[in-house]
Amino acid sequence: MFTTITKEFINKKYDDLEIEKSNVIIAGPTGTGKTLIAKTIAKLLDVPITIVDATVLTEAGYVGEDVENILTRLLQASDYNIERQKKV
């Protein structure tokens, strides 16, 4: 999502600006609107999004959610449309 925001808004205004990282962490206390703002921005930009609770992620073979499932969930969010996923 951050990459899309960069391409759509920041790079149009600042041609010489280079963004070294294409990821973002949103941190804060419970109930402050982190998920809401992420979902709202994704909806405004028409990009797929999936929200993951990192506390349940584990290595393959252990009880919990496998990290690779994040990719599956993201593909599901984009209706398995790879081109739409690449937009992000």
Tens-place pLDDT, residues 24-80: 778 889 999 999 998 998 888 888 888 887 777 777 666 677 777 878 888 888 888
pLDDT reading at 13 higher than 90: no
Q: In this structure, what DSSP letter does residue 62 have?
A: S
Distance CA 79, CA 84 (A): 9
- Ordered by start, the domain boundaries in the chain are 27-86
At residue 58, the 3 state secondary structure works out as strand
pLDDT of residue 56: 78
Closest CA to 46 of 13, 79, 23, 10: 79
pLDDT reading at 10 higher than 90: no
Distance CA 6, CA 3 (A): 5
Place of tokens 């919990």: 64
